[in-house]
Amino acid sequence: MIVVTGATGQLGRLVIDGLLAQVPADQVAAVVRNKEKAADLAARGVELRIADYSAPETLAGAFAAGDRVLLISGSEVGRRVPQHQAVIDAAKAAGVAQLAYTGILGGPEADFKLAAEHKVTEQAILDSGLPYTFLRNGWYHENYTANLAPVLAHGAVVSNAGEGRIGSASRADYAAAAVAVLTGEGHENKAYELSGDVAWSLAEYAAEIAAQSGKEISYANVPAEQHLAVLTGAGVPAGFAEILVDVDAGIARGLLAGGSGDLARLIGRPTTPLASAVAVALKS
């Protein structure tokens, strides 16, 4: 059985879709917190296993011996280490055949704050002794394109990333990589550095939006303190705003440029261009 945790999230649903295109539904299970939210998955023949990362006792029946499991990292920054550890412990107790984990580009080399919990999780998986696959996802196009409204309203992309380049890909590309690892062979005990084929700067991103929208869009590279003030002024919680500013500093240092080619090799095609994601966002 192939088991996907966090299956009703944005990435999880794409992974389930990809799996159902390749394997029978009775070979796919979804670990979800809310049965009702996953009713559409059940209707497609996917087995639902109800569990919560934050309630370790609920994970006891989430996995079985021989399962191939995808642990999609939790979304609650600051709480993810104990949540992930609960999943790892349950997977080990069940004797799963593979535990794949969606971490972050660079793995142990990523030194920005957002990477900290991912690094601890990877080490916990290594310590478990389970056969593992680390899917070190780079940035998603959607991290940027989902937030085009203020860019278009103010005519500016604001950041403290300097001329750093971002090797992003679409969320669907990363989902396809997870499907390849869960359905293929020979991926155990490997780490994949996943990024888009072409890295771009935020100045180039601003130019792409301008070209497609017909509006004048500039790139405002500002000091970290000013960017933080812009984000908090726009209503972003202070703690998360600090993480975003810290990530931008990492981008400036080249930590999210990628370039390994692992993603395209896994999915067997070129990654989705940024221009395509911008086009979709502008139409929505």
- Domains in the chain (CATH in brackets) are 2-137 (3.40.50.720), 138-170+195-259+272-284 (3.90.25.10)
- Name every residue whose Cβ is closer than 8 Å to that of residue 42 and which is 6 or more positions away in sequence: 35, 48
What pLDDT is stored for residue 75 in this prediction? 80
What pLDDT is stored for residue 74 in this prediction? 87
In the predicted model, residues of the chain with pLDDT beneath 70 are none
**pTM (global) more than 0.85:** yes
d(CA 51, CA 54): 9
- The residue count of the chain comes to 284
What pLDDT is stored for residue 221 in this prediction? 98
Residue showing tokens 């389970």: 130
Backbone angles phi, psi at 158, to 5 degrees: -110, 130
What pLDDT is stored for residue 101 in this prediction? 98
Q: Which among 139, 199, 127, 210 has a CA at the least distance from the CA of 163?
A: 199
Q: Coil, helix or strand for 284?
A: coil
